[in-house]
Chain A
């Protein structure tokens, strides 16, 4: 019971802080559901960044928890003075109840079992325990993987970011660790998505908002991949395989933070609100604090901002605030990362022009040395090893047409991107298009130069686990596209 209460306390702290960070309803109107989803995810982003800041200056989780509690109390007081009349919901009551039901089920499914996946246990929850027991990531428990005597601490991928571990450690700070309840705050990623999308599209037509929000909630990969691929077995084993996206992993966290950032940024540009732009920067920095790919996505968003400026309607001031707050908020994590051994995943080392040219030029796939990784796969004929680029391209195409995981998401994305020609004057349309195209290209490049055997990565659910990060921007673009078509029809 105490574990559940601790997790609920963390969620309450996030909501209080997030609500206070948002501008008043008179500046940007939002419904009750949007307010809850945006406040929760924004507050969570702020807490993650605060914790990273504490760690980098040599402080501990306990201090960060204390500051968060004080900040939440102050935020509660501030909010009570500010008052709030919620804007009407863009959804009918049937849609609202349907979205709430799906959200509630996804939350229950998340905590139905204690943490029960390899990555969730060893990559994320272990770090959560380190933060809980040691108070900081800058401790031998993580940095001690390398030492001079060939022996070191047992830790996987030491330089993975601390977003999810921070959430888990905070959620168990007063109660002690619980493999089940530390997942509770993570159970709201998928549930928040339709409301975040609705918030990002608030100034567009209600029909477009509804359709985009429902389409978001209906995207299977927010919950699982390849469900029903093995027929009825998938029904009886549902929730037990690594195809489960809900739970203690971090891909949905990246997706949710990127969606939040994009939604806030779109609202910031359309209402010229610097406060929203700063909040968008906080969320974008939190994207980088969830998974290493988040840092690369942050750069894609920034490059997209710069590239989208080439046509008219240039929200320079808003972009400036976004960039400034992003850089300030991501700095603590970069400071921590610089002190942790970069093992396994070091994109900055891999993503060199030489490497890209090597594989883009038709270099062969790397030979997998591990017989275990090769079990169940056809024997490799050394004379006809496929090129890496062909394998990666094939995997991407497979994903785009994998209806079980994505529904028609990529078809809708393609049409929406194509409609850019009709929406060139809209900065938001241009930016979203560039983020999506840039994101797909980024992941293609990353997988093109990865130092691992690509078929082995494919077995682990790559690239779908990366592409899911882009669901939010795709749905926001879909909303814009639907709205633009509607306007034309009128």
Chain B
């Protein structure tokens, strides 16, 4: 009797199941049955100290630089991903200690903010700030750099205006939903043929062990049947432990050592010429390209955020011509 009752109680979980299924379908319907970032947790800036070092590090001499902090006024409505005020204050103070002037916008419309700056930091992702006219903004930023603490700006739009965009907020949506990555996939689909071989070559030391930085996984999937070749894929595509080792291994091996960065090579998508990832190949890499009948070299910078300026696709003849 008790056993039967327990079985019936278990069956009540059907209510939980129905709730889940209804919520899943309703949630998908809300975004037109296509997953987007809004279905995931809001991005968050997790550096409790304000992350001033990110900003300071781009200037050879930070003294006297002017940084625009696009933050909110106390009366502004709270928007998800807004950096908390105490962290903004810490950031401002830390910048001042380095001789940098931090100018707060306090929610003022971008067009109303006067003056020129060296760089801008997105602290408050209001509609006005997120949809900024990057072309106009670029004329007012000496260093042509955007620091994004809310993951609110499009790096592709910034790139098109010649601005270097750096996101420092943690995002919670899966990496295969990155719109810039899909933009790059579309470009590669047009440029390369279905059966082409593509050698993946990091342009420099791998600077992060973030799992999201493995952009070769989605590129390989979305661009199948193109053939992608990677350094020691057995480790690079494996569990985090092996991947961590792979990152260390590549950086210790330093195949990019003694190679020349081809900064003058015309960029296909990105407008950021000084960020060009193309470089000459070493003897081993050239041999690998020959071994695997490769038609293209995809140079890339290993970063958690996909930015089109971190990728450059170059045909093998051009690369061979550099040697």
Q: Interface of A with B (CB < 8 Å)?
A: 98, 102, 105-106, 108-109, 112-114, 116-118, 121-122, 125-126, 129-130, 133-134, 140-141, 145-147, 149-156, 211-212, 214-215, 217-220, 222-224, 227-228, 233-240, 244, 246, 341, 343-344, 368-373, 403-404, 407-409, 411-412, 415, 452-453, 456, 478, 481-482, 485, 489
Asked if B10 is an interface residue, CB under 8 A from chain A, the answer is: yes
> Is A238 in contact with B217, judged by CB distance below 8 angstroms?
no
Within the complex, the shortest CB–CB distance from A480 to chain B, in Å, comes to 12
Asked if B22 is an interface residue, CB under 8 A from chain A, the answer is: yes
Known pairs A154-B230, A237-B40, A239-B27; A109 contacts B13 (CB<8 A): no
- Across the interface, A146 reaches (CB within 8 A) one of B10, B217, B234, namely B234
Within the complex, the shortest CB–CB distance from B25 to chain A, in Å, comes to 6
> Is A368 in contact with B241, judged by CB distance below 8 angstroms?
yes
Chain B residue, CB-CB nearest to A409: B10
Contacts of B25 in A (CB 8 A): 105, 108-109, 112, 239
> Is B176 in contact with A121, judged by CB distance below 8 angstroms?
yes
> Is B10 in contact with A237, judged by CB distance below 8 angstroms?
no
10 tightest A-B contacts by CB?
Answer: A239-B24, A112-B28, A370-B244, A238-B23, A133-B225, A407-B13, A218-B14, A408-B10, A105-B21, A154-B220
- Across the interface, B23 reaches (CB within 8 A) one of A129, A151, A239, namely A239
Chain B residue, CB-CB nearest to A211: B7
- Across the interface, A129 reaches (CB within 8 A) one of B211, B221, B230, namely B221
Give CA–CA (A412, B13) in the complex, Å. Answer: 14
Within the complex, the shortest CB–CB distance from B181 to chain A, in Å, comes to 13
Give CA–CA (A237, B244) in the complex, Å. Answer: 30
- Across the interface, B220 reaches (CB within 8 A) one of A118, A126, A235, A344, namely A126
Q: Interface of B with A (CB < 8 Å)?
A: 1, 3-4, 6-14, 16-25, 27-29, 33-35, 39-41, 174, 176, 194, 199-200, 209-211, 216-218, 220-221, 224-225, 227-234, 236-241, 243-245, 284, 287-288, 291-292
- Across the interface, A408 reaches (CB within 8 A) one of B6, B240, B244, namely B6
Known pairs A122-B217, A153-B228; A240 contacts B35 (CB<8 A): yes
Give CA–CA (A222, B16) in the complex, Å. Answer: 12
> Is A149 in contact with B8, judged by CB distance below 8 angstroms?
no
- Across the interface, A155 reaches (CB within 8 A) one of B24, B199, B237, namely B237
> Is A223 in contact with B13, judged by CB distance below 8 angstroms?
no
Known pairs A129-B224, A156-B217, A408-B10; A113 contacts B229 (CB<8 A): no
> Is A152 in contact with B229, judged by CB distance below 8 angstroms?
yes
Within the complex, the shortest CB–CB distance from A85 to chain B, in Å, comes to 31
> Is B6 in contact with A412, judged by CB distance below 8 angstroms?
yes
Give CA–CA (A246, B40) in the complex, Å. Answer: 18
> Is A372 in contact with B240, judged by CB distance below 8 angstroms?
yes
Given A116-B176, A146-B234, list of 19 further CB < 8 A pairs?
A109-B24, A114-B34, A114-B35, A116-B35, A121-B221, A129-B221, A140-B227, A149-B291, A150-B232, A219-B13, A227-B19, A233-B41, A239-B25, A368-B241, A370-B209, A370-B244, A407-B10, A412-B7, A482-B7
> Is B234 in contact with A370, judged by CB distance below 8 angstroms?
no
- Across the interface, A223 reaches (CB within 8 A) one of B4, B20, B232, B240, namely B20
A-B residue pairs in contact (CB < 8 Å), sample of 11: A106-B21, A108-B25, A109-B28, A117-B174, A121-B221, A150-B232, A154-B229, A211-B7, A370-B243, A408-B9, A412-B3
> Is A227 in contact with B16, judged by CB distance below 8 angstroms?
yes
Give CA–CA (A265, B222) in the complex, Å. Answer: 41
Known pairs A121-B176, A154-B217; A238 contacts B231 (CB<8 A): no
> Is A151 in contact with B230, judged by CB distance below 8 angstroms?
yes
> Is A134 in contact with B244, judged by CB distance below 8 angstroms?
no
> Is A478 in contact with B221, judged by CB distance below 8 angstroms?
no
- Across the interface, B12 reaches (CB within 8 A) one of A156, A218, A481, namely A218
Give CA–CA (A121, B65) in the complex, Å. Answer: 46
Within the complex, the shortest CB–CB distance from B67 to chain A, in Å, comes to 29
Chain A residue, CB-CB nearest to B239: A452
> Is B227 in contact with A141, judged by CB distance below 8 angstroms?
yes
Give CA–CA (A195, B119) in the complex, Å. Answer: 63
- Across the interface, A134 reaches (CB within 8 A) one of B4, B17, B216, B225, namely B225
Chain A residue, CB-CB nearest to B195: A133
> Is A113 in contact with B28, judged by CB distance below 8 angstroms?
yes
Chain B residue, CB-CB nearest to A366: B241
Give CA–CA (A412, B2) in the complex, Å. Answer: 11
> Is A113 in contact with B224, judged by CB distance below 8 angstroms?
no
Contacts of A453 in B (CB 8 A): 241
> Is A149 in contact with B209, judged by CB distance below 8 angstroms?
no
Give CA–CA (A233, B27) in the complex, Å. Answer: 12
- Across the interface, B238 reaches (CB within 8 A) one of A106, A215, A217, A343, namely A343
Contacts of A369 in B (CB 8 A): 241, 244-245
Known pairs A223-B20, A372-B211; A456 contacts B239 (CB<8 A): yes
Known pairs A240-B39, A407-B13; A149 contacts B240 (CB<8 A): no
Give CA–CA (A406, B281) in the complex, Å. Answer: 54
> Is A415 in contact with B237, judged by CB distance below 8 angstroms?
no
Of the candidates A112, A121, A130, A341, the one having the most CB atoms from chain B within 10 angstroms of its own CB is: A112
Within the complex, the shortest CB–CB distance from A415 to chain B, in Å, comes to 6
> Is B34 in contact with A102, judged by CB distance below 8 angstroms?
no
Contacts of A117 in B (CB 8 A): 174
Give CA–CA (A368, B209) in the complex, Å. Answer: 14
Of the candidates B20, B216, B232, the one having the most CB atoms from chain A within 10 angstroms of its own CB is: B20
- Across the interface, B11 reaches (CB within 8 A) one of A125, A155, A214, A403, namely A214
Contacts of B224 in A (CB 8 A): 126, 129-130, 133, 141
- Across the interface, B27 reaches (CB within 8 A) one of A105, A211, A236, namely A236
Within the complex, the shortest CB–CB distance from A64 to chain B, in Å, comes to 19
Contacts of A478 in B (CB 8 A): 7
> Is A215 in contact with B33, judged by CB distance below 8 angstroms?
no
- Across the interface, B199 reaches (CB within 8 A) one of A151, A215, A403, namely A151
> Is A153 in contact with B227, judged by CB distance below 8 angstroms?
yes
Known pairs A113-B33, A456-B239; A145 contacts B233 (CB<8 A): yes
Contacts of A234 in B (CB 8 A): 23
Contacts of B231 in A (CB 8 A): 150-151
> Is B6 in contact with A211, judged by CB distance below 8 angstroms?
no
Known pairs A121-B176, A152-B233, A223-B21; A237 contacts B41 (CB<8 A): yes
Known pairs A239-B28, A456-B241; A153 contacts B210 (CB<8 A): no
> Is B14 in contact with A102, judged by CB distance below 8 angstroms?
yes
> Is A373 in contact with B13, judged by CB distance below 8 angstroms?
no
Known pairs A102-B14, A155-B237, A369-B241; A215 contacts B7 (CB<8 A): yes
